[in-house]
Amino acid sequence: MATEDDQIRRRGLTAYVQSRVQAEDLVLRYASEHALPAVAMCVSTTYGSGDWGRTPHGAFIAGAVFGKLPFLMDGIELEVVGVDDAARALILAAERGRNGERYLVSERMMPLKDVVRIAADEAGVPPPRRSIPVPALYALGALGSLKARLTGKDAELSLQSVRMMRSEAPVDHSKAVRELGWQPRPVEESIREAARFWMALRDAKGKSAAAS
């Protein structure tokens, strides 16, 4: 179980994760050496309503609601939290956080298959029937990365994204509860809120198509 005292292994990190680690290092160094008033908030994968930008993780919920996910993914577990709960943690940290400290913001570890199934249940649609194993995920991720290089467009599933999902570890958020008074809701509520958001867009799209 990872805590705020653990350090991330820097070997093999993606450029995105490297940038986040370096930014945190810089902020905490200035907090220590120059009394910069700052805390570091380590927020896990967020779910909730209002995903207008269609985040990569939100795309799984959208795919479940629209019935367009071809399969479930075996062997993928993510630390997850409701986006509203994460926002409350940030506000509490600004009000109560100890200067120069880190706080882990996550509700629990959850298999990605469960995220999809909860979203599908809320939408009243069946989840994908097929599941694919981890080796097949790496193969699909490699193909996605190759396609991205050839087309110049982001891949929905890349080798890096598979590696990131496979590198998740369970974390202990008790420090945020103890020091900030943070009380996250069960993340299932936020997943269902996200599903309802995509359901509203789906239904609006259907009405627009019918009217035309």
- Domain assignment present for residue 53? The answer is yes
- Domain assignment present for residue 77? The answer is yes
181 SS3 class: coil
Environment class of residue 82 by beta-carbon count within 10 Å: exposed (0-12), middle (13-18) or buried (19+)? buried
Q: Which domain holds residue 35?
A: 15-129+168-194
Which pLDDT band holds residue 168 (cuts at 50, 70, 90)?
confident
| pLDDT at 120 (0 to 100) | 98
Distance CA 140, CA 209 (A): 33
Cβ atoms of 29 and 99 within 8 Å: the answer is no
- Domain assignment present for residue 98? The answer is yes
Pairing of strands 40-43, 72-73: unpaired
pLDDT per position as a tens digit, 46-80: 999 999 988 989 999 999 999 999 999 999 999 99
Residue whose C-alpha is closest to residue 190's, from 48, 5, 46: 48
Task: Tell me how crowded residue 149 is: count the other CB atoms within 10 A of its CB.
Answer: 11
* Whether residue 83 has pLDDT greater than 90: yes
| pLDDT at 212 (0 to 100) | 63
Cβ atoms of 42 and 172 within 8 Å: the answer is no
Residue whose C-alpha is closest to residue 145's, from 17, 14, 55: 14
Residue whose C-alpha is closest to residue 127's, from 87, 77, 67: 67
Write the CB contacts of 134 (distance below 8 Å, at least 6 apart in sequence).
Answer: 74, 75, 76, 166
Higher-pLDDT residue of 200, 156: 200
* Whether residue 209 has pLDDT greater than 80: no
| pLDDT at 175 (0 to 100) | 98
| pLDDT at 154 (0 to 100) | 80
Average pLDDT of every residue of the chain: 93
Which pLDDT band holds residue 210 (cuts at 50, 70, 90)?
low
Which pLDDT band holds residue 157 (cuts at 50, 70, 90)?
confident
Strand spans (E) along 18-174: 40-43, 45-47, 72-73, 77-82, 102-105, 108-111, 131-132
| pLDDT at 211 (0 to 100) | 65
pLDDT per position as a tens digit, 84-130: 999 999 999 999 999 999 999 999 999 999 999 999 999 999 999 99
Question: What's CA 164's distance to the chain center, in Å?
Answer: 11
- Residue 98: which CATH number? 3.40.50.720
* Whether residue 133 has pLDDT greater than 90: yes
- Domain assignment present for residue 163? The answer is no
What is the rounded average pLDDT of the residues 166-189?
96
- Domain assignment present for residue 136? The answer is no
CA torsion 21-23-28-31 (nearest 10°) is 180
Distance set, CA 83 to CA 166, 189, 210 (Å): 22, 11, 33
- Domain assignment present for residue 176? The answer is yes
Residues of the chain with pLDDT > 90, as a percent, come to 78
Phi first, then psi: give them for residue 109, nearest 5 degrees.
Answer: -90, 135
Task: Work out how many domains the chain is built from and give that number.
Answer: 1
* Whether residue 33 has pLDDT greater than 90: yes
- Domain assignment present for residue 4? The answer is no
* Whether residue 14 has pLDDT greater than 80: no
